[in-house]
Amino acid sequence: MQSRFSSAALAAGVTLILGFMVLGISFSVEGVVPTLEVSESHKIIGLLIGAGLVFLLQYFRAEVSKVTAKMKGDGQAHELPSFMRTEKQQRVLAFWAVGALLLFPFLSSRGAVDIATLTLIYVMLGLGLNVVVGLAGLLDLGYVGFYAVGAYSYALLNLYFDMSFWMALPIAGGLAALFGYLLGFPVLRLRGDYLAIVTLGFGEIIRILLNNWTELTGGPNGIARIPKPTLFGLEFNRRPSEEGATTFHDFFGISYSSEYKVIFLYLMALLLVLLTIYVIRRLVRMPIGRAWEALREDDIACRSLGLNPTNIKLGAFTIGASFAGFAGSFFAARQGFISPESFTFIESAIILAIVVLGGMGSQLGVVLAACAMTILPEMAREFDEYRMLLFGLMMVLMMIWRPQGLLPMKRPHLELKRD
Amino acid sequence: MSDSIYYFIQQIANGLTIGSTYALIAIGYTMVYGIIGMINFAHGEVYMIGTYISFIVLAGLTMLGFDNVFIMVGLAMLVGIMIASAYGFTIEKVAYKPLRSSKRLIALISAIGMSIFLQNYIRLAQGSRDIAMPSMIQGGFLLGDPDGSHILISYMQVIIIVTTVICMAGLTLFISRSRMGRACRASAQDIGMTNLLGINSNNVIATTFIIGASLAAVAGTLLGMYYGVVNPYVGFIAGLKAFTAAVLGGIGSIPGAMLGGLLLGVSESLTAGYFTAEYKDVVAFSLLILILLFMPQGILGKPEVEKI
């Protein structure tokens, strides 16, 4: 009992000292004289709360580890609730869910629809990265690079060749896939952790290039006035941008509303997300999908069974990259403005956090995690500052307590009973 | 003619200065990798924390009215080392130790999470803007004609290179002579076997993290004073560069990390001097990709044997 208290007190004391040096003192320079001040009270209070938490965690360590062991669930996959176990029930549920999502934009405000579109973009990114990280087990930290390629492809094709969204979309996806292929071809021979760093470097290279190639990309100023997609050539503007073209509201004889284009973009993003989910669901059941998972579990066993790991990984990498390209085009169309600022490493980390939280390999988990991670920060704007802090903390804690994610992937399987 | 030679030597000197700090940070990567085989992704953040701590100590000493620069820098470095190594130790205990037996991917994600956490923690604590520190050590050695072509090697550059050499010599002595150093080398070869022979591998791993963090704090103090600014994001890029240096030299090899750091520093400074400064980060990352493709074992590393 004595040692339990003293070790907890020691841990809390160390936390206080370590935290005080950084949190407790504010550094500022007035003129040329550096000055130190004791920080604002909320930082000190935060520090004290943190130290208290550390004390409690250490003091009740045995109890805490019991709870966390339960969270880990012995590697057992999580049971779905009873109303969505069979294939038929799932199909009905999916039907209703899609129906609700289709109706959603007509019943809610413009702002909500806009956020929903952003959420769908993240769902797409999460699903794409899930193929790479979750299914194939390749840690890609430069995923945002492909996202940037997609976004800039549409923006540049539109700027220089006046290409419409629908023409640019497949090209953007294709270009991102090509980048994925070109990067993956040499680096996929590397071991896992090298791959992470190389992809991270690749993401940074793309961003630096976009930032410095001012003649082509506009540099840090980015590209503005990217048009929204059209419906078979019908624009959603108040007036047609070209002489002789018809706008959406003229064609259907309804009055103009700026909501139409937001709703349209949302519906298109929803369509693409559904398509993504469908394609990946199919892929997972195909030989290549099974090979991804097999390779993730045991590289050497796969090679001895005659699978070519490089080709299989390359497939995952390229397909994952193409989804990022699609998502990038949507992002460019939604924002109407892109700059290299939107494609920093933080963005890659957020997408990775989505995959990790949802459960690597699990589609439903990733979709729900993407929704949670985009909608929650929007709802709690005052905590925006703490968002990345919490993401980082969550990644560490998830890996320690529940590495398989909240809703891990479940395959039909039999297991031998162990005593 | 002589002009271009002076310019070249100046670039080399600048490169060696930066390169030696990369080497200091790279040691942390390479030692951890050598022993537990994982990339300590949060190492760059430890460097960043070291810089902040030393700035805070320097500011505090200035406020107290100290005027001996060497005592101030020494104290700042010492406190920086203490706090940063405590951070390194804590990071290992919190984020890596529970995951030692799990898959590589899991540990790596935890490390990335830790890195993001620390970066934002500092950002919230000290603000995201640059903090500038007035330079305390000015002047330098001038070679050549002060009005024409010359080489200027500032005292700060000299201090950086000398301190690095001392640290490296100390580390080499520690690794090759001390009991703990021997345990470190043994653990790098086979940690399970070392454990069986009665060496507490937890202590060895903790020591590795502490040494790595201390050297990162030294680099942080020096580079912070050299550049005169710090912000919460310096750790990310510095960490990547140092990792590149570690891979270039051969990850797991300590002399390799030193060599890799110097090579990377010089090549970066030559790129900035002769081509364009904007792309110097691109050069570092491209170098990393090229090395991994064509020489994955690095210059001084041993080729990795896959154990089944």
**pLDDT tens sequence across A102-145:** 777 777 777 788 888 888 989 999 999 999 988 888 888 889 99
Residue with tokens 């691109």: B282
Which CATH number is A367's domain given? 1.10.3470
The pLDDT of residue A147 is above 90? yes
Q: For chain A, how many structural domains are there in total? A: 2
B99/A399 Cβ within 8 A: yes
Residues β-bridged to residue A235: A247
A204 vs B118, B285, B308: nearest CB:
B285
Distance from CA of A395 to the nearest CA of B (A): 5
On whether any CB of chain A is under 8 Å from the CB of B73, the answer is no
Domain of A369, in residue numbers: 84-401
Query: Is the same domain home to A141 and A44?
Result: no
Same domain, A16 and A154: no
Is there a domain that residue B81 lies in?
yes
Cα gap A164→A183, rounded to integer Å: 28
Say yes or no: A184 and A216 in one domain.
Answer: yes
Q: The pTM is what?
A: 0.86
Instruction: Report yes or no on A285 lying in a domain.
Output: yes
Does residue A142 share a domain with residue A66?
no
Q: How many domains does chain B have?
A: 1
Residue B308 falls inside a structural domain: no
**Pair (A246, A102) in one structural domain:** yes
The model's pLDDT over A287-317, given as tens digits with 9 standing for 90+, comes to: 888 898 888 888 888 889 888 888 888 999 8
A93 and A209 fall within a common domain:
yes
Residues A53 and A100 in one domain: no
Please indicate, yes or no, if residue B196 is contained in any of the structural domains.
yes
Q: From the list A189, A190, A193, which residue is nearest B38 (CB)?
A: A193
**Same domain assignment for residues A228 and A341:** yes
User: Between B60, B98, B286, which is nearest A36 by CB?
Assistant: B60
Contact A192 B122 (CB under 8 A): no
Q: In this predicted complex, what is the ipTM?
A: 0.84
CA distance to A29, A119, B55, B226, per residue, from B134 (Å) = 9, 45, 10, 10
Q: What is the mean pLDDT of residues B212-235?
A: 90
Which residue segment(s) compose the domain that B245 sits in? 2-294
Q: Do A25 and B56 touch (CB under 8 A)?
A: yes
pLDDT tens string A345-366: 888 888 888 888 888 878 888 8
CATH number (domain holding residue B124): 1.10.3470
In a domain? residue B305: no
Question: Measured between CB atoms, does B303 come within 8 Å of chain A?
Answer: no
Is there a single domain that holds both residue A206 and residue A252?
Answer: yes
In terms of domains, do A204 and A290 share one? Answer: yes
Residues of A in contact with B279 (CB under 8 A): 208, 212
Closest approach of A27 to chain B, Cα-based (Å): 6
Residue A78 lies in a domain: no
Q: Identify whether B302 is part of a domain.
A: no
User: Residue with structure tokens 């990071």?
Assistant: B91
B141 DSSP β-pair partners: B153
Does B113 contact A35 at a Cβ distance shorter than 8 Å? Answer: no
Structure-block tokens of residue A30: 């007035």
**C-alpha pair distances (Å), B162 with each of B50, B54, B155, B169:** 19, 19, 10, 11
Question: How do strand A33-38 and strand B229-230 relate by DSSP bridges?
Answer: unpaired
List, for residues B83-120, the tens digit of each pLDDT value: 999 999 989 988 888 888 887 788 888 998 999 999 98
Q: Which of A51, A72, A93 is the last residue of a domain?
A: A72
Confirm whether A411 is domain-assigned.
no
**Cα distance from B84 to chain A (closest Cα, Å)?**
9
- Is B113 in CB contact (< 8 Å) with chain A? yes
Within a domain: residue B300?
Answer: no
Cross-chain Cβ contact A399/B83 below 8 Å:
no
Q: Are residues A291 and A371 in the same domain?
A: yes
Which amino acid type is present at position B218?
A: V
Q: How far is B77 from chain A (nearest CA, A)?
A: 14
Could you tell me if A103 and A245 lie in one domain? yes
Nearest chain B Cα distance for residue A18, angstroms:
6
Interchain CB contact of B144 with A (< 8 Å):
no
Q: What is residue A390's predicted lDDT score, i.e. its pLDDT?
A: 85
